[in-house]
């Protein structure tokens, strides 16, 4: 009998380390019905801030979608082994659930915090609020002359319109909404929603009781920060946090 006629040995796809990891992570699938039910009660205690809410949802979705992630991990490990990928490298695929549910959201959240804090510093300490209010009132008066676009049934002014005043353009707003008495500039809209609202002089004179939950930069110009208005957020502590962001060369804010 020649060597060519001998049966070829099939490659072993599921080596001992693959089986061990599959069994180890498979325990989570067995416990999943109980963990999925228990995850509902993660939201019973008061949510402290936006970051706390994001962390709870991250853990909850990790639990709720664990069977799907486990099946995808097993399939990916099988495909890698079938393609001849080294055993050790193939084992790294079992870190997929951690990457998908924890590392990627944490990285995205870190980037979002960096961007939102940069917007806060630019608006609070690098912007002439008097000039910004005047620019917003100019937009308010001439709102029908700008290019508009719609989103979810709402009409917005195109921030890229060349006629938008420079005091607004430098803030790089994502959206501009205007009506008879106000202009809203959406500066950030991911995890932390940041909005600047300017009111007409007539509206300010007829509403002297202020607007609870927002931060008045100057009379008629308000800063709305989702973190500031979030439930159980201490207003004094958060405003002090904003003041710690002040660059050394920036003047002391009047708010």
Count H helices and E strands in the chain, helices first.
11, 7
Residue 149 banded pLDDT, cuts 50, 70, 90:
confident
Q: What is the DSSP letter of 180?
A: S
Identify the pLDDT of residue 179: 92
The answer to whether 62 and 97 are in contact (CB under 8 A) is yes
So what's the pLDDT on residue 218?
93
Beta bridge partners of 215: 223
Between 114 and 121, name the one with better pLDDT: 121
**pLDDT tens readout for residues 7-38:** 544 556 667 777 787 787 788 888 889 988 88
pLDDT for residue 231: 59
Which string of DSSP letters, residue by residue, matches 205-225? HH--S--TTSEEEETTEEEEE
* pLDDT at residue 176 tops 90: yes
With cut-offs at 50, 70 and 90, classify the pLDDT of residue 49.
low
Contacts of 69 (CB under 8 A, 6+ apart): 62, 96, 97, 100, 101
Q: Does residue 45 register a pLDDT over 80?
A: no
Global model pTM greater than 0.85: no
Beta bridge partners of 197: 184, 222
Predicted pLDDT of residue 102: 66
């Amino acid at each position: 009998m020649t060597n060519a006629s001998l049966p070829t040995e099939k490659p072993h796809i599921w080596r001992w380390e693959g089986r061990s990891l599959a069994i180890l992570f498979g325990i989570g699938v067995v416990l999943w019905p109980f963990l999925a039910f228990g995850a509902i009660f993660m939201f019973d205690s008061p949510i402290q801030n936006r970051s706390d809410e994001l962390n709870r949802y991250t853990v909850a979705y990790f639990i709720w979608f664990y069977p799907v992630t486990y099946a995808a991990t097993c399939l990916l490990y099988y495909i890698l082994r079938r393609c001849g990928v080294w055993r050790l490298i193939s084992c790294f695929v079992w870190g997929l659930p951690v990457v998908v549910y924890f590392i990627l959201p944490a990285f995205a959240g870190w980037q979002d915090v960096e961007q939102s804090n940069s917007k806060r510093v630019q608006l609070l300490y690098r912007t002439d609020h008097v000039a910004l209010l005047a620019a917003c009132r100019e937009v308010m008066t001439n709102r029908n002359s700008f290019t508009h676009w719609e989103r979810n049934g709402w009409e917005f002014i195109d921030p890229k319109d060349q006629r938008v005043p420079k005091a607004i353009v430098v803030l790089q707003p994502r959206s501009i909404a205007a009506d008879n008495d106000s202009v809203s500039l959406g500066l950030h809209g991911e995890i932390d929603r940041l909005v600047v609202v300017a009111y007409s002089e007539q509206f300010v004179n007829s509403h002297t009781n202020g607007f609870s939950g927002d931060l008045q930069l100057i009379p008629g110009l308000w800063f709305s920060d989702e973190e500031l208005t979030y439930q159980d957020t201490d207003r004094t502590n958060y405003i002090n946090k904003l003041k710690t962001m002040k660059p050394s060369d920036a003047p002391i804010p009047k708010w």
